Amino acid sequence: MPRQVDYLLPGGRQGVLLIHGLTGTPAEMRFVAKGLNRRGYTVYAMQLAGHCGSVEDLLATGWRDWAASVRIAADRLAAQVDRLFVGGLSMGALLALNYALEQPEAVHGLALYGTTFRYDGWAVPIIGRLSFLLPWVVPLGIGRKRSFTEVFPYGLRDERMRQRIVGAMFGEDSSTAGLPGNPWPSLAELYRLARHVRARLHRVDAPALIVHASEDDVASLGNARVLLDNLTGPTQLLELRNSYHMVTLDGEREQLIEASASFFQRHLRTAAGRASQPALTLRAVGAD
């Protein structure tokens, strides 16, 4: 049975929902959560269905269950704030985009950290790069009990943080750093989610901050380019040059936090400016 480890940090009337990645935990969002909370935001680091327990717990869920848990978490936070921003790491970024597709009026902005449509980073083994085939392979009964084990550098360039996370990952408590591998059926679900979201990106018009490591070991910078090429709302790219995939934990996390807070604040001011404008505006003399 998964251990409940989500957490809410009360703050002001602007809220940020943070979504962890596949086989991850809310702990991977803690630095970001605390940083945004110090800047006045109410922050809820949610827990995805089936996570923070055993492999069996995870396998009992799929991407639609994970999306449903995002809706529940968003409703909980929205009841306490006036405006809602949604941020996610890796698969969590896909789920943030999916929520923006489902509830476009509810999302004031997005923070997309290490968005993963495909495992194509420099450290991913050849068999891992072929994992996009899993949605077709797993239904045939192939690999139902297999997993892709995490490999060096485990998404982290910061050596001290890597030692800490890897030690927890291969311990017995998955609620601290998540599972040490990605079960094939769960990866197949991630790719189904990725396909669903990617085909609909043009419908997402919420402002989006895109944060990606230039040397992401798990998901190449090409994943960020998919967002830049297809999102229809305002976008901003922050490319981190001294981090790997786990940008919320790695050495440039303070830069990520500052960029996120600044992005949210800028779009809060933009929304306030629009709200203060009169309903009817006159054309300038001589305008075409």
> Domains of the chain, with CATH numbers?
7-275 (3.40.50.1820)
Model confidence at 141, pLDDT cuts 50, 70, 90, reads confident
Copy the structure tokens of residue 272.
């306030």
Radius of gyration of the chain (CA): 19
The average pLDDT across 66-70 equals 98
Q: Is the pLDDT of residue 223 over 90?
A: yes
Lowest-pLDDT range, 76-85, 145-154, 222-231, 245-254?
A: 145-154
Lowest-pLDDT range, 15-24, 148-157, 268-277?
A: 268-277
The average pLDDT across 230-244 equals 97
The average pLDDT across 44-67 equals 97
Model confidence at 130, pLDDT cuts 50, 70, 90, reads confident
Among 168, 173, 137, CA closest to 150: 168
Q: Which residues contact 271 (CB under 8 A, 6 or more apart)?
A: 83, 108
CB–CB of 229/204 below 8 Å? no
Tell me which of 193 and 130 has the higher pLDDT. 193
3-state secondary structure of 79: coil
Name the pTM for this structure.
Answer: 0.92
Model confidence at 172, pLDDT cuts 50, 70, 90, reads low
Q: How far is CA 23 from CA 49, 63, 218, in A?
A: 10, 12, 14
**Distance from C-alpha of 228 to C-alpha of 236, rounded to nearest angstrom:** 8
> Would you state the pLDDT for residue 273?
66
Q: Report H helices in 54-183.
A: 55-59, 63-78, 91-102, 126-129, 134-137, 159-169, 174-177
Residue with tokens 């309903």: 279
- Looking at the DSSP assignment, which residues form a beta bridge with residue 109? 85
Single-letter code of the amino acid located at 62: G
* Tens-place pLDDT, residues 73-112: 999 999 999 999 999 999 999 999 999 999 999 999 999 9
Q: Is the pLDDT of residue 63 over 60?
A: yes
CB–CB of 174/25 below 8 Å? yes
- % of residues, the chain, pLDDT over 70: 93
3-state secondary structure of 182: strand
The average pLDDT across 174-200 equals 91
